[in-house]
Amino acid sequence: MDIEAPEFRRIGNNTKVTREDWMRIAVATLMAQGVDAVRVMPLSEALGVSRSSFYWYFKDRDDLLDQLLINWRETNTRAIVDRAGREAPTIIQAVLNVFECWIDEDTFNPALDAAIRSWSRNSARVRKDVDQADADRVIAIRDMYLRFSYSEEDAFIRARVLYYMQIGYYAMDLGETLDQRLSHLSAYLRSFTGVEPSTEDLRGFGPRRITASTGSRTSQSDR
């Protein structure tokens, strides 16, 4: 197994491999090669350690696969649910909070989502998890609309349209640049809310907004 991504450079037998190292390489393998490739021996070879290291952190392969599902829920699903629940003065700003997931792969990883969905095609258990995640995400977005006085039905359908459009967008792999997507931001917002966004709403949305909201990168004021 040859994984060229820099985070998986061979670590060496004299270096302690952490649980996070095993998780990172398992996630990357799942995304690149699918769940069938997520096996103890190939992962240990990629890390440059004996397979016994694996059993310090996981009971067996099934335990690792369970942890991959937990990791996915705690990253991708939580990202959408948290942003849909974030306070906002208007529905436009609320939807822009959710849009943060679509413009930053450190917030929502579409390749991981796709890998989990592919896995679910051959696993009834994982399919159940995917169905639950989709429901949780839609409910969170629905509740966002409800806070702004949309009717129950309108809130639910708008949530479905917003969420399933984005999942379909990833599935189609259209290859648009971020700038191309942002050029349609006003029209997307009108479509999803029925409200005309203001110039102020649109100003500053993009990677700099992510920086400002997370504080994990250089702030806008420092640029």
Average pLDDT for runs of 10 along the chain of length 223: 39 69 97 97 93 93 98 97 97 96 92 97 97 98 98 98 95 87 92 94 71 43 35
CB-based contacts of 64, cutoff 8 Å, min separation 6: 22, 26, 38, 40, 54, 58
Q: Note whether 36 and 142 are same-domain residues.
A: no
Q: Note whether 89 and 173 are same-domain residues.
A: yes
- Residue 216 has a pLDDT of 43
Domain of 20: which CATH number?
1.10.10
- In contact, 102 and 162? CB cutoff 8 Å: no
Q: Can you give the length of the chain in residues? A: 223
Q: Note whether 23 and 84 are same-domain residues.
A: no
pTM given for the model? 0.84
- Single out the residue of 112, 123, 125, 30 nearest to residue 74, CA to CA: 112
Q: Note whether 40 and 144 are same-domain residues.
A: no
- Residue 209 has a pLDDT of 55
| Domains in the chain, number | 2
Q: Note whether 182 and 206 are same-domain residues.
A: yes
Q: Note whether 129 and 35 are same-domain residues.
A: no
- Residue 223 has a pLDDT of 31
Q: Note whether 53 and 73 are same-domain residues.
A: no
Q: Note whether 49 and 147 are same-domain residues.
A: no
Q: Note whether 101 and 49 are same-domain residues.
A: no
Q: Note whether 17 and 120 are same-domain residues.
A: no
Range(s) of the domain holding residue 137: 68-215
First to last CA, the chain: 41
Count Cβ atoms within 10 A of the Cβ of residue 76 and give its class: 0-12 exposed, 13-18 middle, 19 or more buried: buried
CA 61 to chain centre: 23
Backbone angles phi, psi at 63, to 5 degrees: -65, -45
Any domain includes 131? yes
